Amino acid sequence: MGIAEKEVLVIGGGIGGVAAALASAEAGHKTTILEQAPVFGEIGAGIQMGPNAMAVLDRFGVADEIAKVAVFPQRLVLKDVYTAKELASLDLGDEFKAKYGFPYIVLHRSDLHRVLVDAAEKNPLISLVNDQIIETVEENESGVTVTNQRGEQFTGKAVIGADGLKSKARKYFVDDEPICSEYVAYRGTVPIEEISSDANMDDVIMWIGPNLHVVQYPVRKGELYNQVVVFKSLNYKPDSDDWGTPEEMDKVFEGCHPLVETALSFIQRQIRWPMYDRLPIENWTKGNFTLLGDAAHPMLQYLAQGGCQALEDASYLADMLLEHGENFEQAFLAYQEERIPRTTKVQSSARKWGEIIHAVDSTSILLRNTLLEKTPAKEFEMVDWLYGYEKVKSKVK
Ligand SMILES: Cc1cc2nc3c(=O)[nH]c(=O)nc-3n(C[C@H](O)[C@H](O)[C@H](O)COP(=O)(O)OP(=O)(O)OC[C@H]3O[C@@H](n4cnc5c(N)ncnc54)[C@H](O)[C@@H]3O)c2cc1C
Count of alpha carbons within 13 Å of 115, Cβ hemisphere only?
19
The structural domains of the chain, with segments of one domain joined by +, span: 8-70+107-177+278-359
Pocket test for ligand 1, best of 47, 130, 148, 205 (most atoms within 8 A of CB): 47
| Ligand 1 contact via 43 beta carbon (within 6 Å) | no
Residue 280 Cβ < 6 Å to ligand 1: no
Q: Is the CB of 277 under 6 A from ligand 1?
A: no
Phi-psi domain of 81 (left: phi exceeds 0; alpha: psi -120 through 50; beta: other) = alpha
Residue nearest to atom 7 of ligand 1 (CA): 304
Whole-number CA gyration radius for the chain: 21
Indicate the residue type of 225.
Y
- Nearest alpha-carbon partner for 347 in 262, 270, 282, 279: 279
Candidates 3.40.50.10860, 3.50.50.60, 3.80.10.10, 3.40.50.150; correct CATH number of 8-70+107-177+278-359? 3.50.50.60
Cα dihedral 276, 280, 283, 285 in deg (nearest 10): 40
CA of 310 to the centre of ligand 1 (A): 9
39: closest CA among 129, 150, 164, 167? 129
Taking alpha carbons only, the member of 135, 161, 166 closest to residue 278 is 166
CA of 18 to the centre of ligand 1 (A): 11
Ligand 1 near 134 CB (within 6 A) = yes
- 246's CB contacts (< 8 A; 6+ apart) are 186, 269, 272
- H helix intervals, the chain: 15-26, 51-59, 63-69, 94-100, 109-122, 246-252, 258-265, 306-324, 328-357, 362-374, 381-387
Residues 22 and 120 sit within 8 Å (Cβ to Cβ): yes
Using an 8 Å Cβ cutoff, are 294 and 310 in contact? yes
pLDDT at 4: 45
- Ligand 1 near 170 CB (within 6 A): no
pLDDT, residue 6, reads 59
DSSP string of 133-189, one letter each residue:
-EEEEEEETTEEEEEETTS-EEEESEEEE---TT-SGGGGT----PEEEEEEEEEEE
Spatial distance between the Cα atoms of 125 and 132, rounded to a whole number of angstroms: 19
Q: What is the pLDDT along the chain (397 residues), one digit of tens a residue?
A: 444 445 999 999 999 999 999 999 999 999 999 999 999 988 879 999 999 999 999 999 999 999 999 999 999 999 999 999 999 999 999 999 999 999 999 999 999 999 999 999 999 999 999 999 999 999 999 899 999 999 999 999 999 999 999 999 999 999 999 999 999 999 999 999 888 777 788 999 999 999 999 999 999 999 999 999 999 999 999 989 999 999 999 999 999 999 999 999 999 899 999 999 999 999 999 999 999 999 999 999 999 999 999 999 999 999 999 999 999 999 999 999 999 999 999 999 999 999 999 999 999 999 999 999 999 999 999 999 999 999 997 555 5
Q: How far is the CA of 42 from the centre of ligand 1 (A)?
A: 9
> Is 50's C-beta closer than 6 angstroms to any atom of ligand 1?
no
Q: What is the C-alpha to C-alpha distance for residues 299 and 350, in angstroms, rounded to an integer?
A: 7
What is the CA(333)–ligand 1 centre distance, in A? 23
Ligand 1, atom nearest to 165 Cα:
30
The per-residue DSSP string of 104-147 comes to -EEEEHHHHHHHHHHHHHH-TTEEEE-S--EEEEEEETTEEEEE
